[in-house]
Each structure stands twice: as C-alpha cells, then as structure tokens.
Amino acid sequence: MRSSFDFTPFRRSAVGFDRLFDMLESSAAAGAGENYPPFDLIKEGEQDYRIEVAVAGFKQSEIEITSHQNVLVIRGAKADDAGANYIHRGIATRSFERRFALADHIHVTGADLHDGMLAITLKREIPEAMKPRRIEIGGRETASAEPRIEARAEAREPEHA
C-alpha cells in the first residue's frame, strides 16, 4: 500500500490550492500510525458536525481543546497516580494529541465530556459577503435614457460657446 501520493502534476495546473495539497500530504504522513484515542466524525445537518472522541479515564481538567488557523487540536495528559498500587493496568492513560484539519468557515461551537466521550460540535458559518447573491438585471428604457443624453448635450453646449 502506498503511504504517499505525488501531487506535483496537480500543483502545476491548480492555482491557489497549495494549502489543500500541503494538508493532504502532511495528513497522509502523520496519520499513518496513530489511532489513539478512537473517534467518530458525524454530520448532523447541512452545516453542523460533531466529533466524538473516546477519552475514558480522563477528567475535564486533563483535556485541552484548541482551534487555530483551521486546525482543531485535542490534547490529553493524565495526571500521575503515584499513590495507586496497580496489579494490572489495562486502561490506556497515555498522553495523546489528535489533530483535525477544518475547512474554511468551520467553527467550534461547543464541547462536552460525558461518560468518557468528548463531543465537540462544529458549524459551518459562511459570512454574508461569501454567500451567493442574486443580481437583478436592470434594463434601460429609451425614455429614461434620452434625458441623460440631453442633459449631457446641454452641459456641453455652454462649454463650446
């Protein structure tokens, strides 16, 4: 199985997609071996999404969520249990970091930790300036165009005299 894909032919003919190709190349290289903690991606509506991460054993104070420049980062660091005398430790408590690339205009709207599941809600919020808008076609009527021509002609006559 191939671990990377060469995007060079696409880079030559696609203008402005550098960030997309960089993201694809870096995610293919970084995500090859890491699968802890497990997560689900859920589309809840046309513009709404949810990421659920299984963080059993982690307290709210041991999890950090940051969103910066279209990257969502979830970090978990377990506090030491120095007083516990484990005979067997089968519950994973290692530190982790999960990164998710977010598309433009995707914003984190909330996070909730319940029963060992961290749920992060996301929403696509397209700014009004970026939304499609209908352009009305204006037609010129000959009656309204004639006064403009006459006004121009009248304005020019005193200059020539």
Looking at per-residue pLDDT, the higher value among 52 and 101 belongs to 52
- Is 70 exceeded by the pLDDT of residue 95? yes
Please give the model's pTM, rounded to 2 decimal places. Answer: 0.64
Burial of 74 (0-12, 13-18, 19+ CB in 10 A): buried
- Is 70 exceeded by the pLDDT of residue 150? no
Q: What is the mean pLDDT of residues 5-12?
A: 74
Ordered domains of the chain (ranges, CATH): 1-33 (no CATH), 37-135 (2.60.40.790)
66: left (phi over 0), alpha (psi -120 to 50) or beta: beta
Cα dihedral 22, 32, 115, 65 sign: negative
- Is 80 exceeded by the pLDDT of residue 104? yes
Q: What is the pLDDT of residue 151?
A: 47
Q: What is the pLDDT of residue 141?
A: 65
Q: What is the pLDDT of residue 83?
A: 75
Give yes or no for a contact between 120 and 72, defined as CB atoms under 8 angstroms apart: yes
Report the chain's mean pLDDT, rounded to a whole number. 80
Band of pLDDT at residue 21, cut at 50, 70 and 90 = confident
Q: What is the pLDDT of residue 153?
A: 46
Looking at per-residue pLDDT, the higher value among 121 and 56 belongs to 121
- Is 60 exceeded by the pLDDT of residue 1? no
Q: At a CB cut-off of 8 Å and minimum separation 6, what does 58 contact?
A: 76, 78, 93, 113, 116, 118
